[in-house]
Amino acid sequence: MTPAAPARRDALIVLLSLAALLAWDLSGLDLVLSDAFGTLQGFPWRDRWLTGTVLHDAARWPAWAVFALLVVNLWRPLPFAAATSPQERRWWAATTLGCVLLIPVLKHGSATSCPWDLARYGGDVADYVPHWQLWRHDGGPGRCFPSGHASTAFSFLAGAFALRRGAPAAARRWLAATLLLGTLFALVQVMRGAHYLSHSLWTAWICWTTSALAWHGARLWRGGRSAAAAAGLGPAKG
């Protein structure tokens, strides 16, 4: 595989997934899916022990434990990451943290309210307005797009990039586990009325695209430094 092939493949994944995501947005299926779990009395699954306590509140702690392992991985490589370079492991931890921080920043500036705020589901004043209709306000408190809880899993998508050179099998397993958990968290939030499905799908796309851009940007930067050093333009080693 030529060096440009992964970049083309990742660009294609970003564009095709964006097209699928836009198609979902325009389909109106967000509301149809939320209607399956919400009523005029609200969302019955909102505060249940499994969905509210275990799969929402408690899910953050294992995620931070995994991130702590990524920090340890900087100095003592995890067994399945032994073939990664120190640069890749630093990139892995930094990009994961970047995704963790990016989603709340975007969410803070959003005018989109959560489904449980809608009068349709027993909320106070909000009406349904698709999150991409930025010129309309739904009358609610906003700050509900994209999904922060889905980023508990999707922020770790960077691991699929960090592992794929030295441990491609581990990269595939990491990607599968991340997507599986992210999908579970996305469905939990739909059941609870905390998010529309598109909010979590956008979180996945943002984290994947951020990781892809950061990965290929870092490769270009390292390649430029190597070329400069070979031409005698970089700092001398000795």
CA distances (Å), origin 209, targets 2, 76, 104, 184:
21, 28, 16, 21
Q: Which domain holds residue 196?
A: 27-220
Single-letter amino acid, residue 128: Y
Check residue 126 and give its pLDDT: 84
Check residue 125 and give its pLDDT: 77
Residue 98 placed within a domain = yes
Check residue 180 and give its pLDDT: 98
DSSP assignment letter at 234: S
Residue 17 placed within a domain = no
Residue 236 placed within a domain = no
The string of DSSP codes covering 104-154 is HHHHHT--PPPGGGBGGGT-SSB----TT-TT---SS-----S-TTTHHHH
What is the rounded radius of gyration, in angstroms, for the C-alpha atoms of the chain? 20
Distance CA 16, CA 175 (A): 18
Please list the rounded mean pLDDT of every run of 10 residues in the chain (238 residues): 79 97 95 96 96 96 97 96 96 97 95 95 88 89 95 98 96 98 98 98 98 94 59 50
Domain count of the fold of the chain: 1
Candidates 40, 60, 37, 63; CA nearest to 48 is 37
Check residue 185 and give its pLDDT: 98
Q: Answer yes or no: pTM beyond 0.75.
A: yes
Residue 9 placed within a domain = no
Residue 197 placed within a domain = yes
Check residue 2 and give its pLDDT: 59
Residue 235 placed within a domain = no
Residue 233 placed within a domain = no
Residue 237 placed within a domain = no
